Amino acid sequence: MHAFTKGLAAATLAATLAASTALAQTSEINFGIISTESSQNLKTVWDPFLEAMSEQTGMKVNAFFASDYAGVIEGMRFGKVDVAWFGNKSAMEAVDRSNGEVFAQTVDVDGNPGYWSVLITQADNDAINSLDDVLKCDKSLDFGIGDPNSTSGFLVPTTFVFAKNGITPQDCFKTVRNANHEANAMATANGQVDVAANNTENLRRLEVTAPEARNKIKVVWQSPLIPSDPLVWRKDLDEDAKRKIYTFVMSYGRLGTPEEVAAAREVLDGLAWAPFRPSSDAQLYPIRIMEITKQEARIQAADNMSEEEKKAELETLAAQKEKIQKLMDTVPQS
């Protein structure tokens, strides 16, 4: 083939590949938002953030809501969700089941390094003032627990309240119901449940959305610190989209004119956050330890397993925990 012809063919191929790459670049993404409260309330605080993301990335950004956490996890699994705000437990499920990857972490607006799971009851309930009062386990109390994929609403109380004390909620309370944070808080304030799981972030949010209800609630137990929530994207999202999203997230509320920074900070304040910080899947290590601890307690309490079976299962879990603990000791968690 003549050199000119070869050069023309090569140039044509390069142009075709470039055009194909351009076409492959993402122009629209779905942003998943876990159902900590009603979709309408969430839209109020999230829409300004997603509008800013759309404007600064040049991509159309759609809010994706589901009735429970699993809906967002499954949405990512089947390519219906590209980026999402999760709690740590639901992020772990998204990483393990939905090809997700942690890339950023929220920062508490007051500078706290995380948040706390709490158990709440009515402010005027003189019979419940401590965890011991909650765990009297005479089946006289109605209990509200969180979504099964919630960190603060389910995993943390399951680990640090029930598994730690060798108690199963169904054997302790008159009724046990699953609901999101907002629903559990309102049910507590209105006396529909006696005790419920919640977290410090949601209680602070309640001060804005339902201050009268917040005044009817008191905290009777607080957990160890939980790492701040992560943002997760699909690993197979194209690199150009990842670059745009990451640049936006890390610069939002930090870079721009004084007026732009102030406007972004106001939007973040509505979400109860300061500007984000970088993160990775390593932030989930403590959550994985909690999950294993919960499994260990379940096995130890199982009456349908032989001692040999329990020993084998516990040894496997201990090895997994040791491996994660070593990673925690050597890999930065954010």
List domains and CATH numbers for the chain: 26-112+228-281 (3.40.190.10), 114-226 (3.40.190.10), 285-330 (1.20.58)
Q: Nearest-CA neighbor of 52 among 244, 216, 180?
A: 244
Residue 282 in tokens: 């390593």
Strand blocks (E) in the chain: 28-33, 60-65, 83-85, 100-108, 114-122, 142-145, 175-178, 195-199, 217-227, 230-234, 273-278
Whether the CB-CB separation of 188 and 88 falls below 8 Å is answered with no
Whether the CB-CB separation of 156 and 10 falls below 8 Å is answered with no
Given this model, what pLDDT does residue 20 score? 44
- Please state whether 85 falls in left (phi above 0), alpha (psi between -120 and 50) or beta: beta
Residue 175 in tokens: 């009724």
Given this model, what pLDDT does residue 136 score? 94
Residue 285 in tokens: 């290590």
Handedness of CA 127, 131, 136, 140 (dihedral sign): positive
Residue 317 in tokens: 């879990």
pLDDT of 272-281, one tens digit each? 999 999 999 9
Q: Is 216 helix (H, G, I), strand (E, B) or coil?
A: coil
Residue 2 in tokens: 């003549």
Whether the CB-CB separation of 267 and 52 falls below 8 Å is answered with yes
Pairing of the two strands 83-85 and 28-33? parallel
CA distances in angstroms from 200 to 35, 108, 115, 241, listed in the order given:
16, 11, 6, 33
Given this model, what pLDDT does residue 329 score? 78
pLDDT of 13-69, one tens digit each? 544 444 444 445 789 999 999 998 888 889 999 999 999 999 999 999 999 999 899
Residue 190 in tokens: 């209105």
Across-strand partners of 207?
Answer: none
Report how far residue 98's alpha carbon sits from residue 92's, in angstroms, rounded to the nearest whole number. 10
Which stretches in the chain have pLDDT values below 50? 1, 3-12, 14-23
Given this model, what pLDDT does residue 106 score? 95
What is the distance of C-alpha 302 from the center of its chain?
A: 29
